[in-house]
Amino acid sequence: MAKGQIRKALSGFYYVYSDGKTYQTRARGNFRNRNITPLVGDEVEFKFDTLKEGYILAVEPRKNELIRPPVANIDQAVLIISCKEPNFSENLLDRFLVYLEYNNIVPILYFTKTDLLDESGYYQVKEYADYFEKIGYHVLMPLLGHPDELVATISTLFSDKVTVFMGQTGAGKSTLINKISPELNLKTGEISQYLGRGKHTTRHVELIPLEGGLVGDTPGFSAIDIPQMETTELSQQFIEINEASQSCKFRECKHVHEPKCAVKAQVAAGEISQERYDNYLQILNELENRKPMYGKNKR
């Protein structure tokens, strides 16, 4: 029996990396009965007869997992944010951040397609970028007229970490990875003019050794599901709202109608972004009106 890490999943096979070699394996038949689905990024125990014939026997406990994209044990996510084509959406950005914060994945915000903006549009998006940096996020937004200036900076962040690239379809994930490491030659696609959405060009999840770490390119999507959580947990996923909430009068304040709410006071004072607060209220409303999912784990 050996130990290794799943680096790729494709057509029912799991490609496990162990001691410098990659083994093609399948999951044991009883995994399905036990409701276990191995994921890329999993640390596993497996046995093999040859490099092409092996079986996964056990999956080690995960520190986190994502369903969309299906990856486990992620340290950080480079969140690709398109400034134009598709247009910048703070609502979508906040949804991605809630998704990552809830799963204990460190976000790195990278703004793409700045070269498609005029000066006015650039500084409008930069106001948002500056705000996210102020509240504590690692933000990378190229200077006006220099869209590729931070490509080298990203690659310095991969060492000893599992990193995934995320973002809506057409935001430029595969294009960016190609610039970081052209030999990977990841397939890129043209933006579909229909509704300004891109075509899905990434067909599977794979972790690729790069700059001392592992990176994955993942399918993009224009909408994202909010994780199953209690309504009282939502404010914890908004850094500045969570910090301000420590001064609210009520311990489980939802920051909507409650008196002496420190969050609403900071919004009124301009210290918390009105757009972020509005997005928080929208997601809170969705959680309150969501049908319960009986028999399923929340997390």
Per the annotation, where are the binding residues for Zn(2+)?
Answer: 248, 253, 255, 261
Phi, psi angles (nearest 5°) of residue 101: -60, -40
The two three-digit tokens of residue 73, written as one number: 């044990």
Do the Cβ atoms of 113 and 121 come closer than 8 Å? no
Residue partners of 130: CB distance under 8 A and separation at least 6: 139
Going by the annotation, the residues of the binding site for GTP are: 112-115, 167-175
The Cα 239–Cα 76 span in angstroms is 17
Going by the annotation, the residues of the binding site are: 112-115, 167-175, 248, 253, 255, 261
Paired strand residues for 22:
17
For the chain, strand residue ranges (E) read: 2-10, 13-18, 21-27, 43-50, 53-59, 65-66, 71-72, 76-82, 106-112, 138-140, 162-166, 206-210, 213-217
